[in-house]
Amino acid sequence: MKSTSGSQVLSLYRSLLRETHKLPDPLVKFTYSAYIRDRFRKNARIAEESLRYRKIKTAQKKLRQLQAANSGDKTAVARTLRFAYGVTGPVRHQNLLTYKRTGNSPSTTDTRPPPFPPALKSLLASPLARTKPGSKTQPDEPASLSLALDKRGWLGKLPERRERNLWWNWWREEPTKTLVPTEIKIIESSTDTPSAGSANPTDTSGDPHSQPTTPLKLRQLGLPVVGTQESGLIRRAEEYSKSHITPKAPRRSAERSSVSQDPRLEATTTFPPQSRFMRRRYRELLSKMPLLSFKPTSTSQIPPTPISDSTSCDQTSTTPPLAPSGKFSVSVSPLAATLGPRDRTSYSLMTQEDHQWIERARESKRSSKPKSGGSQLPRL
């Protein structure tokens, strides 16, 4: 085992930050920069040489991943986007703990674990929220339990310890097979004016005033509040997945110099135009970001809570209201990529941009054809 010098660690740290600043998305840059600084600050306290060596090897592996992402590797770019947008990594772990948290802490002495909360149970039952598409969902009981009973045959009931271990292993491992939503959207049913969420909870790309549900509404309904509730990660990925430049019509060089720039391109946009490669990576990312929607019943709408000076934030947080009756639904963004035949990624139908590129190619091909004149020889 080689020794790890301070100069080697400092050089690796600078190389990681240098590769981080080359990443295309500002959110990815910020997430990786904060993560690298935090990990190096934490690992600097390690005194054991063997453990420091393993940490150095892990950092070198992360450096190779970032270099591959900056060079245009498809798998590496998708991995960096999933880490920054909370699909994997510590953000996903914290969100999963929030969805898994129940009222009372489970005791390992119990024969069976407590039931999953309604929000997590709806994720476990939905095929859209599975890490492996097409896998069998078992939100109520472990599949290994029935399999063990079938193998046991005429011996009958399983031993109590064996059954207890099957239940608890399923309770710990089943939530890890799901995609964790980064936000919850409340669908408010309105008879007078239908809201944007009631028509289509995922179609927020065309509504500029559509905002994520506030944590206050979720607490009033007794729903879990994750740390990324107000981050708008799904909307951000949608904007990047459709941010492009409309192609111009083909012109001659003299016309290009005389005509000013297209006013549509002069308009400043919040999200910079992305290449086709990056837009497809964002659409693949959206397929890994399910949106959890909750529609309360008419008797359990959000009650108005007047804020008084005597009521503190600590008192409201310690006495949460009872969870109302309602229905959870899991959906994905309409811009998300889907699996086509033979489990190949399909990018839906042809977009307007694709039609415009085809029309521009046809026009340029038409203008490049030689004009028919008398000098040309007739075809035989």
Q: What is the pLDDT of residues 214-225, one digit of tens each?
A: 888 888 888 888
Question: Is 100 within a domain?
Answer: no
User: Which pLDDT band, with edges at 50, 70 and 90, does 311 fall under?
Assistant: very low
Structure tokens at 36: 């690298």
Q: Which helix (H) or strand (E) holds 75?
A: helix 74-84
* 314 assigned to some structural domain: no
Co-location of 50 and 129 in the same domain: no
| pLDDT tens digits, 190-206 | 544 444 333 444 444 44
Q: Which residues pair with 295 in a beta bridge?
A: 327
| Residues 28 and 152 reside in one and the same domain | no
* Burial zone of 255 (CB within 10 Å; 0-12 exposed, 13-18 middle, 19+ buried): exposed
Residue 273 is part of which domain span?
A: 184-305+319-364
Alpha-carbon 377 to chain mean position: 62
pLDDT at 40: 92
Calpha distance 361→86 (Å, rounded): 40
Q: CA–CA distance from 22 to each of 18, 67, 74, 274 (Å)? A: 7, 9, 16, 15
- The one-letter amino acid code at 329 reads S
- pLDDT > 70: percent of the chain: 64
Residue 161 has pLDDT above 80, yes or no: yes
Q: Are 246 and 112 members of one domain?
A: no
pLDDT recorded at residue 48: 87
16 and 146 within one domain: no
pLDDT for position 34: 95
Same domain, 199 and 160: no
Contact (Cβ atoms closer than 8 angstroms) between residue 286 and residue 238:
yes
Instruction: Say whether both 70 and 126 belong to one domain.
Output: no
Q: Is position 94 within any domain?
A: no
Query: pLDDT at position 174, please?
Result: 87
Is residue 355 a part of any domain in this protein?
Answer: yes
Looking up tokens 């990529």 gives 337
Report which of residues 111 and 257 the model is more confident about.
Answer: 111
Q: Are residues 32 and 71 in the same domain?
A: yes
pLDDT at 208: 37
Residue 348 included in any domain: yes
**Residue 158 covered by a domain:** yes
Looking at 84, 117, 132, the residue that finishes a domain is 84
Give all strands (DSSP E) within the chain, no chain letters. Answer: 184-186, 291-296, 326-331, 338-339, 345-346
Same domain, residue pair 289 and 355: yes
Domain count, the chain: 3
Residues 362, 360: Cα–Cα separation, whole Å:
5
* Mean pLDDT for all residues in the chain: 76
pLDDT at 314 over 70: no
For tokens 């245009």, name the residue. 72
Do 230 and 271 sit in the same domain of this protein? yes
Tokens representing residue 6 in the block = 């301070």
Look at residue 324 in the predicted model and tell me its pLDDT.
52
Mark whether 148 and 200 lie in a shared domain.
Answer: no
**Cα angle value 242/244/247 (rounded, 5°):** 135
What pLDDT score does 18 carry?
95
The pLDDT of residue 298 is 66
Q: Cα separation of 155 and 1, whole Å?
A: 53
- Given 153, 177, 201, which residue is the final one in a domain? 177
Predicted confidence (pLDDT) at residue 80 exceeds the cutoff of 50: yes
64, part of any domain: yes
Q: 128 and 204 in one domain?
A: no
- pLDDT of 250 reads 60
Is there a single domain that holds both residue 27 and residue 173?
no
pLDDT of 308 > 50? The answer is no
